[in-house]
Amino acid sequence: MMSASVGAQTRTDTVLRRRRASLLVLMLVVGLGMASWVTRTPAVRDAVDGSTAEMGLILFGLSIGSMIGVVASGPLVRRLGTRPIVLTGTVLVIAGVSAVAVATAIPSAVGVFLGLFLFGLGGGLGEIGLNVDGAAVEKLLGRPLLPMLHGFFSLGTVIGAVVGIAMTAIGLPVIWHLLAVVVVLTACLLWAAAGIPGGTGRRGGSARRASDASAVRPSSVWRERAVLLIGVIVLAMAFAEGSANDWLPLLMVDGHGVSATWGALVYTGFAAMMTIGRFAGGPIVERVGRRPVLLVSAVMAIIGVLAVAYAPHMIVAVIAVVLWGLGASLGFPVAISAAGDSADRAAERVSAVATSGYLAFLVGPPLLGFVGEHWGLQNAMLIVVALLAIAVGAVIAMGPTSPVSGAPPVESGPARCGA
């Protein structure tokens, strides 16, 4: 009897470890895909002969796709569960990278726009599903997982950026670089797909109808003061992260006169700091609480963005990227964790604040591109600084008893397994 119980627990632990690993790999796929084309942005810009404003419009495709994906993801997860949404999103991410590769070789600005649209749509669809599934695994493990989950996205950006630097340095055409990445991403998807179970996040008919109805009543989660303030924080921190993903290589190339290889290298440093911050963030949040972490993060990001934009020497700007990366690293996962604290309508709250983050991705590229075209890309970074200052105010306004005041609650249980 004891032997059978131990064997069942061992099988449960093995399945849970496989599921956890699959989620981490799928998040890695998104980061790897993103960094692969971000590091080649100067080459893509040259291939389609686009101005700063035109590149902002091209990047707008990513924003539109992301917003559509994240808005649709919540209801789809409640109806179908996380598995089909996460896997479909990953397929679209891979298709987007493929399209950017081919469009750059043609060359076609419209094709690049459509490729980024597919990438954004896939990333947006998968975002809620990965977080909902990750939160479920977090409870089964009995310890935090979301910071590490987002850390694997950042790890993917580091790997993708390092490879992108090498490909830029040797002058490999964008199409061959990105198509090779597509092969790797496809292999990761095929391995991870089997580890994601069905049914997670799906609601029964009556519960789903009640949830859908509540989403449109005046008692929407956006009427909750805490959700609104957390949404502001997510928007600002996502804007700080997304502005680096979209514009940091060009900011270094055009603003500080470095080569495209150096621009990609600086972006790699940013991605590395994001990764370090997210992997180290879990224990820090548990020790000091969410509120101090969010305050310090926003202030660090403000200093970093200002220094990168206006430093008189390129070396100072490179060092400031460390502050920008560390400052932006924990805002999104920590705020998402705070939004999902309550068992009542947690999925709706997570969906709402995640949507505010994707709003930053929606308006960010064209807004910064327009301002950068007329007043310079360095001056456009003041918009990022202003939003981060508003985020500081939002964290302070939350007060010491708000959902962002403490560490995320973790439920311990018998399904706990090793890392």
Asked whether residue 35 is assigned to any structural domain, the reply reads yes
Asked whether residue 412 is assigned to any structural domain, the reply reads no
Asked whether residue 413 is assigned to any structural domain, the reply reads no
pLDDT (average), residues 349-366: 74
Whether the CA torsion 21, 278, 350, 124 is positive or negative: it is negative
Asked whether residue 215 is assigned to any structural domain, the reply reads no
CA distance 335 to 391: 11
Asked whether residue 75 is assigned to any structural domain, the reply reads yes
What's the predicted TM-score (pTM) here? 0.75
Comparing 381 with 364, which gets the higher pLDDT? Answer: 381
Q: What is the pLDDT of residues 10-24, one digit of tens each?
A: 667 788 889 999 999
Q: Which residues 6+ apart lie within 8 Å of 79 measured at CB? A: 202, 203, 208
Q: What is the pLDDT of residues 81-109, one digit of tens each?
A: 889 999 999 999 999 999 999 999 998 99
Q: What is the CATH number of the domain that holds 362?
A: 1.20.1250.20
**How many folded domains does the chain comprise?**
1
Asked whether residue 210 is assigned to any structural domain, the reply reads no
The boundaries of the domain holding residue 226 are 11-202+220-398
Asked whether residue 190 is assigned to any structural domain, the reply reads yes
Asked whether residue 315 is assigned to any structural domain, the reply reads yes
Q: What is the pLDDT of residues 243-268, one digit of tens each?
A: 887 788 888 888 788 887 788 788 88
CA distance 158 to 156: 5
Angle at which helices 41-48 and 260-288 cross, to 10°: 140
Q: Which of 175-184, 325-334, 380-389 has the lowest mean pLDDT?
A: 325-334
pLDDT value, residue 327: 93
Query: How would residue 407 be classed by pLDDT, with cut points 50, 70 and 90?
Result: low
Comparing 209 with 246, which gets the higher pLDDT? Answer: 246
Tokens standing for 207?
Answer: 């519960």
